[in-house]
């Protein structure tokens, strides 16, 4: 396949992937007003990252094999996004779906970083073989971070900076999710206090009707589940977006993302 055809195909797939991902995120977010400000912006970060890396590759005139590696990686990663969204929304629908959708951009970003690091290493190997012997002798053998940073060429420096920025963005997103979960944890502690006090005062666990009367807003629609036989058995499950050390109970792990999507507390009286 000719290089021009590959580039054109990659551009089309990239645009379609970004468009489909945005549309599916709007569908999940319940409209453009909420979706654009949150879900869509998050879904488009991988495509923005791919675009920046492709522009850097073109600007610095990378060798043909390295450039083709980045182009094929962009094509595959752009295609993976919509396929994973469709799978989570319509094929394997489960309680972990919302978290899986949130993690899809992270998967795309990690794959993009992996392809970028492979391309940087390959480019470095090609340049090393074309260096003059005098240049090699002038390189200091001592290992130090300043020497490594100053020895990077412009493409490598820009890609390293982009990787650091993406890492900070992912870390910030996880921190935001953990902060948002603090409200849910506070409610879970209130529920826990009520159940323990009720058990201590009445020597039995509260039945479904008592829990629904005390906490009318906690239902399956809001992600809360009260498993009980209205006699001696009671489990409370509340939703979470990420692991949080302040959460009470045992985490429930998503098979899709291997992250906690809920916590469950078992009560006995």
Contact 239, 224 (CB under 8 A): yes
Mean pLDDT of the region 136-165? 49
Question: Does the pLDDT of residue 48 top 50, yes or no?
Answer: yes
Highest average pLDDT, of 36-45, 190-199, 222-231, comes from 190-199
Note the pLDDT tens digit of each residue in 61-120: 777 788 888 888 888 888 888 888 877 777 665 655 666 677 888 889 999 989 888 888
Per-residue H/E/C for the chain = CCHHHHHHHHHHHHHHHHHHHHHHHHHHHCCHHHHHHHHHHHHHHHHHHHHHHHHHHHHCCCCHHHHHHHHHHHHHHHHHHHHHHHHHHHHCCCCCHHHHHHHHHHHHHHHHHHHHHHHHHHHHHHHHHHCCHHHHHCCCCCCCHHHHHHHCCHHHHHHHHHHHHHHHHHHHHHHHHHHHHHHHHHHHHHHHHHHHHHHHHHCCCCCHHHHHHHCCCCCHHHCCEEEECCCCCEEEEEECCCCCCCCCCEEEECCCCCCEEEEEEEECC
- Least Cα distance to 246 among 171, 186, 177 occurs for 186
Looking at the chain, the whole-number percentage of residues with pLDDT higher than 90 is: 21
pLDDT of residue 58: 77
Pairing of strands 234-239, 250-253: unpaired
Banded model confidence at residue 198, pLDDT cuts 50, 70, 90:
very high
**Rounded distance between C-alpha atoms, residue 261 and residue 202, angstroms:** 33
- Averaged pLDDT score across all residues of the chain: 77
Mean pLDDT of the region 224-230? 92
pLDDT of residue 123: 76
- What residues does each domain of the chain span? 3-139, 183-267
Alpha carbon 194 to its chain centroid, in Å, reads 35
Contact 84, 107 (CB under 8 A): yes
pTM (whole model) above 0.75: no
pLDDT of residue 214: 94
Banded model confidence at residue 138, pLDDT cuts 50, 70, 90:
very low
Contact 181, 240 (CB under 8 A): yes
Between 97-130 and 41-59, two packed helices, what is the crossing angle to 10 degrees?
10
**Rounded distance between C-alpha atoms, residue 161 and residue 149, angstroms:** 11
Note the pLDDT tens digit of each residue in 242-258: 788 889 999 988 766 56
pLDDT of residue 162: 58
Mean pLDDT of the region 33-49? 75
Query: Which has more confidence, 48 or 30?
Result: 48
pLDDT of residue 236: 95
Torsion of CA 190, 192, 194, 195, to 10 degrees: 160
């Amino acid at each position: 396949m000719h290089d021009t055809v590959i580039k054109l195909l990659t551009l089309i797939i990239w645009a379609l992937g970004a468009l489909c991902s945005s549309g599916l995120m709007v569908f999940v977010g319940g409209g453009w007003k909420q979706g654009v400000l949150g879900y869509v912006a998050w879904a488009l970060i991988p495509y923005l990252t791919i675009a920046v890396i492709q522009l850097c590759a073109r600007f610095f005139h990378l060798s043909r094999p390295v450039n083709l590696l980045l182009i094929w990686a962009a094509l595959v990663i752009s295609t993976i996004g919509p396929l994973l969204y469709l799978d989570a929304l319509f094929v394997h629908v489960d309680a972990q779906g919302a978290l899986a959708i949130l993690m899809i951009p992270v998967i795309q970003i990690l794959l993009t970083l992996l392809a970028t690091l492979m391309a940087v290493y390959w480019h470095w190997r090609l340049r090393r073989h074309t260096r003059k012997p005098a240049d090699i002798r002038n390189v200091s053998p001592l290992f130090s971070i300043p020497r490594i940073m100053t020895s990077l060429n412009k493409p490598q420096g820009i890609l390293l900076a982009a990787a650091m920025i993406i890492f900070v963005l992912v870390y910030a997103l996880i921190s935001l999710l953990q902060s948002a979960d603090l409200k849910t944890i506070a409610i879970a502690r209130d529920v826990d206090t009520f159940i323990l006090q009720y058990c201590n005062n009445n020597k039995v666990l509260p039945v479904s009707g008592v829990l629904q009367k005390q906490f009318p807003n906690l239902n399956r629609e809001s992600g809360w589940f009260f498993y009980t036989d209205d006699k001696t058995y009671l489990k409370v499950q509340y939703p979470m977006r990420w692991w949080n050390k302040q959460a009470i109970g045992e985490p429930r792990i998503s098979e899709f993302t291997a992250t906690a999507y809920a916590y469950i507390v078992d009560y006995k009286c």
